[in-house]
Amino acid sequence: MTTHDQSEVLARVARGLLYSESEAAFQSGLRRSDLIFEYNHTPPGEAARRRDLLERILGSVGERTVLLPPFHAGFGSNVHLGDDFFGNVNLTFVDDVEIRIGHGVMIAPGVTLTTTGHPVHPDLRVDFGRYSEPVVVEDKVWIGSNAVVLPGVRVGHGSVIGAGSVVTRDIPPMTVAVGVPCRPVREITEEDLKERQEIR
């Protein structure tokens, strides 16, 4: 594939249009599969080694980042994590394009963040036809266990995504959102600061 052809494919990807596995094969060098395997098999006591691997795997990684193994990523290099990030076990990044996660984000076990979907008509899924749109998780978000965030979604600052939710559209800042499909159910307010606090 020529450089011109590659540029044309990348332009389609950037616009959220369909592309195939064969067309995207030139990006295979950006995959960090071997490093992800190594990270997932690194003993818990080797924190410095884990950090070094994470810096080599991800597009960028903030300070005081915890990502418990195993985690999974199509590329790894398209994932960007902010400071004070906590990702629990079995976090999956389908990162054919960028996944950007802000500061102070907490993600529970079994969550999937996917930038990629497939067309409904089977004739368009030949050669694994697909489309990709970036995912953004803003600062101080908490995502509950087994939630799925779909392509093109932005989760707003401070929001909470309930366990088992399927997030198909943007979630406003400072809201609790739950369900399939995920919908905001209420705002997060000053009253929530009293939660599980002793009353004196």
- Cα separation, 67 vs 85, whole angstroms: 8
Strand partners, 92: 72, 112
> For 108, which DSSP code?
-
Active site residue 157: no
Residue type at 17 in one-letter notation:
L
Of 72, 80, 103, 118, catalytic:
118
Contact 44, 51 (CB under 8 A): no
Nearest alpha-carbon partner for 137 in 82, 96, 186 = 82
DSSP-based three-state secondary structure for 29: helix
Q: Match 């409904």 to its residue by tokens.
A: 120
- Cα separation, 64 vs 20, whole angstroms: 37
Q: Which residues are catalytic?
A: 118
